[in-house]
């Protein structure tokens, strides 16, 4: 047999073994290969890989398994989260991730072409399967906890929104090759000044991120892991960037290819729509917000439900549970673009999430470091306001929707029954003070639309 054919066989087998973090036996490999090799040929190729130090054998007889050599001493505990000075800027890696990186760094022609594998999704069971081990989830909760964890959903994100808009818009766009600097991004978002030396598409990408982030924060009570939210994110992030303008906010109807990858996503629209609904439904079932975020970052891009902009959608969707729980958002600041690309390729081609997990955890720690000073400057929440936040919403809505002037008398008239007798005078003061800072752009906090507020405000507000 020609040498190049033997090499192709070896790379195909290596790719199949790489999908099994715990090792794989000969029978399973034969099933995966679906008759491509005889058992004897497969044994010879495996022996070559073992001799070359790329695979190791464990067990004996029926318990014999093959696994990647770098995975032999793998552990779930990640290395300390720190930046190491190396020739290439990268994140610290676990042994599993080193093996994934080594595979996806091979020339494209040496990697085995693969299609969508439903087994990757079927192997995940919400709240039973975990991409993040318990100790790591606890670490992330400690890192991300804000002083506003008992406040209404989205409070922390609203308090740091000016900073978040710049950080996340810049960092997420940079991962897509956008060359805007952080300062350029700040000028564009705060003052509307587009950088004169940048392509119009780059400017549009930044502004699209801004609109999508504002949607997540201002509409926090409406957004969630549902098709409507994910499709809305795509519509906002893809605005003006697609060759087919009608493809924005719609599941794709034609095949796509992934540049630089041997992965070929699903082409059948009906199957794509079905799996999109399943993935979103599974994400919604996950209880832990960090597990939700990582699951979303892996499975949305892997499915490629949209014609383009899939990774951007997944990065912003990963922030949904963090914003809702008043945890520190994930801004992706300082994440090396090559590390992120390698991690996504590991999901595409090997269905392995370890490298993406390492990138995710390191990125989250960096995000928390970015906002620690901001968090320290936040005033402690008003416990009286927190206790009566639902009653406050009820009273404000009643006055605006009832078209009443702001007055002490009208607050008493619309006093919710849930306000204790001893707290009513203080509650009246709370409502009157709330109206002093209420305007069309923040009325959404009380479920009021800008137009609804505008109709009431001219003749009724103070």
pLDDT at 197 over 50: yes
Q: How far apart are CA 300 and CA 286, in angstroms?
A: 15
pLDDT at 344 over 80: yes
Kindly report, residue by residue over 357-414, the tens digit of the pLDDT.
999 999 999 999 888 666 666 555 577 888 898 999 999 999 999 889 999 999 999 9
Q: In terms of pLDDT, which residue wins out, 49 or 69?
A: 49
User: What local confidence, expressed as pLDDT, does residue 460 receive?
Assistant: 55
Q: Which residues pair with 57 in a beta bridge?
A: 66
Quick one: which of 246, 309, 252 has its CA closest to 276?
252
pLDDT at 188 over 80: yes
| φ/ψ of residue 327, rounded to 5 | -95, 160
pLDDT at 312 over 90: yes
SS3 114: strand
Lowest mean pLDDT of 99-108, 143-152, 304-313, name the range.
143-152
pLDDT at 78 over 80: no
Block residue for tokens 């924005």 = 248
Average pLDDT over residues 1-30: 75
Residue 220 tokens, joined: 């926090």
Average pLDDT over residues 259-288: 97
> Apex CA 349: angle with CA 135 and CA 32, to 5°?
100
User: What local confidence, expressed as pLDDT, does residue 84 receive?
Assistant: 46
Domains and CATH numbers, the chain: 3-104 (1.10.10.10), 113-377 (1.10.3290.10), 383-460 (no CATH)
User: What local confidence, expressed as pLDDT, does residue 67 receive?
Assistant: 80
pLDDT at 199 over 90: yes
Q: How far apart are CA 62 and CA 198, in angstroms?
A: 61
User: What local confidence, expressed as pLDDT, does residue 376 receive?
Assistant: 61
User: What local confidence, expressed as pLDDT, does residue 292 receive?
Assistant: 98
pLDDT at 72 over 50: no
pTM of the predicted protein model: 0.70
What average pLDDT is seen over the chain? 88
Give per-residue burial for 268-279: e unless 16+ CB within 10 Å, then b: eeeebeebbeeb
Kindly report, residue by residue over 82-137, the tens digit of the pLDDT.
444 446 789 999 888 999 999 999 999 989 999 999 999 999 999 999 999 999 99
Q: E strand or H helix at 429, and its extent?
A: helix 424-436
Lowest mean pLDDT of 124-128, 216-220, 336-340, 440-444, name the range.
440-444
State the burial class of residue 339 (Cβ atoms within 10 Å of its Cβ: 0-12, 13-18, 19+): buried
Kindly report, residue by residue over 166-182, the tens digit of the pLDDT.
999 999 999 999 999 99
State the burial class of residue 417 (Cβ atoms within 10 Å of its Cβ: 0-12, 13-18, 19+): exposed
Instruction: Let me know: does 206 contact 259? Beta carbons within 8 Å.
Output: no
User: What local confidence, expressed as pLDDT, does residue 369 receive?
Assistant: 85
User: What local confidence, expressed as pLDDT, does residue 458 receive?
Assistant: 54
Block residue for tokens 């519509």 = 235
């Amino acid at each position: 047999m020609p040498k190049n054919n033997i090499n192709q066989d070896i790379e195909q087998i290596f790719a199949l073994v790489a999908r099994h973090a715990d090792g794989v036996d000969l029978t399973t490999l034969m099933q995966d290969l679906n008759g491509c090799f005889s058992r004897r040929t497969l044994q010879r190729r495996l022996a070559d890989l073992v001799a070359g130090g790329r695979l190791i054998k464990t067990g004996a007889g029926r318990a014999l398994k093959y696994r990647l050599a770098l995975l032999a001493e793998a552990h779930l505990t990640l290395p300390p989260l720190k930046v190491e000075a190396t020739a290439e800027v990268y994140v610290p890696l676990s042994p599993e991730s080193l093996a994934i990186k080594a595979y996806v760094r091979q020339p494209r022609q040496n990697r085995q072409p693969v299609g969508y594998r439903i087994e990757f999704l079927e192997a995940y069971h919400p709240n039973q399967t975990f991409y993040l081990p318990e100790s790591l989830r606890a670490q992330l909760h400690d890192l991300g906890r804000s002083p506003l964890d008992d406040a209404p959903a989205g409070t922390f994100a609203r308090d740091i929104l000016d900073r978040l808009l710049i950080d996340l818009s810049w960092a997420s766009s940079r991962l897509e090759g956008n060359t805007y600097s952080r300062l350029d991004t700040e000028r564009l978002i705060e003052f509307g000044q587009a950088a004169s030396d940048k392509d119009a598409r780059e400017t549009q990408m930044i502004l699209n991120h801004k609109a999508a982030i504002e949607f997540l924060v201002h509409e926090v009570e409406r957004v969630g892991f549902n098709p409507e939210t994910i499709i809305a994110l795509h519509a906002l992030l893809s605005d003006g960037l697609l060759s087919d303008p009608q493809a924005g906010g719609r599941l794709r109807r034609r095949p796509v290819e992934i540049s630089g990858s041997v992965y070929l996503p699903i082409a059948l629209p009906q199957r794509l729509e079905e799996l999109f609904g399943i993935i979103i439904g599974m994400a919604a079932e996950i209880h832990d917000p960090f597990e939700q975020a990582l699951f979303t970052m892996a499975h949305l891009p892997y499915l490629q439900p949209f014609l383009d902009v899939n990774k951007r959608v997944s990065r912003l969707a990963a922030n949904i549970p963090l914003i809702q729980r008043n945890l520190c958002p994930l801004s992706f600041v300082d994440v090396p673009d090559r590390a992120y690309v390698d991690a996504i390729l590991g999901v595409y081609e090997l269905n392995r999430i370890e490298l993406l997990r390492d990138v995710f955890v390191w990125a989250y720690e960096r995000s928390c470091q970015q906002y620690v000073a901001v968090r320290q400057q936040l005033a402690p929440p008003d416990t009286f306001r927190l206790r009566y936040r639902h009653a406050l919403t009820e009273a404000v809505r009643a006055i605006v929707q009832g078209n009443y002037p702001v007055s002490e008398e009208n607050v008493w008239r619309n006093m919710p029954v849930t306000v204790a007798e001893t707290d009513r005078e203080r509650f009246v003061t709370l409502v009157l003070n709330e109206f002093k800072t209420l305007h069309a752009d923040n009325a959404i906090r009380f479920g009021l639309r800008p137009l609804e507020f505008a109709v009431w405000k001219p003749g009724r507000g103070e």
